[in-house]
Structure 1
Amino acid sequence: MPHHVYIIQSEAHPNEFYTGMCTDVASRLGDHNSGKSKHTSKFKPWKLVFHCWFDDPHKPVAFEKYLKSGSGRAFASKRLR
């Protein structure tokens, strides 16, 4: 089963982004927009701005960790959003 890394942007607060990992992007976006995640509930609604998928379940873990680092956030801001 492919694993996805995704970046969402708050529609109400456009400077707020969230990076995550899941196996079903549409379902996970629905969770964020329905307030099921305490980290994103205060900035809903959200829209998907980037996602990619991996067959190897270990690669998305490393990629998500990178995107949450300082250099990864800079890369995402410049290249992915």
Structure 2
Amino acid sequence: MLTRRPFLFMGYFVYILKNATDAELYKGFSENPYERLIYHNLGKSTFTSTKKSWEFIFLKEFPNKSEALKFERRIKKWNRRSLYKLIESSENSLQKE
């Protein structure tokens, strides 16, 4: 599991979470994705509240909020195949760790 590194967060992030139980995907935006992951796993988000085993599978930083929100809206319309291509691409900062 990823560790919390709040001192590194100065941007805007789009993330994809995967539920360990049933492989459901959730796409979102946050200025602090690690705190947001905790929020999801505590069941405090409406969509993710019924399942509490979420983990990051995609994370991308953007220079401004507008670009991040546009990207989030775009990928929310994508099918699973397109999302997995994105997850496996060099755009995923988790692939670089």
Which of the five TM-score ranges fits, normalised by the shorter chain?
A: 0.7 to 0.9
Q: Which has the higher contact order (CA 8 A, sep 6+)?
A: 1
Deviates more, 1:40-49 or 1:24-33: 40-49
| RMSD of aligned alpha carbons | 1.5
Aligned residue in 1 for 2:12: 3
Q: Name the CA distance, whole Å, in 1 between partners of 2:25 and 2:85.
A: 13
Q: Could you tell me which amino acid in structure 1 is paired with residue 65 of structure 2?
A: P
Whole-angstrom CA distance in 2 between matches of 1:32 and 1:64? 17
May I ask how many residue pairs the two structures share in their alignment? 79
Map 1:36-75 → 2, pairs under 5 A: 36-70=44-78, 73-75=80-82
TM-score normalised per structure 1:
0.87
Structure 2: 5+ residue stretches without partners: 1-9, 89-97
How many Å apart are 1:48 and its aligned residue?
Answer: 0.5
**Cα distance between partner residues in 2 of 1:66 and 1:47:** 21
Give the Cα–Cα distance (whole angstroms) in 2 for the partners of residues 36 and 30 of structure 1.
Answer: 9
Taking structure 2 as the reference length, the TM-score comes to 0.74
Aligned to 2:50, what secondary structure does the other structure show? helix
4+ aligned runs moved over 3 Å, structure 1: none
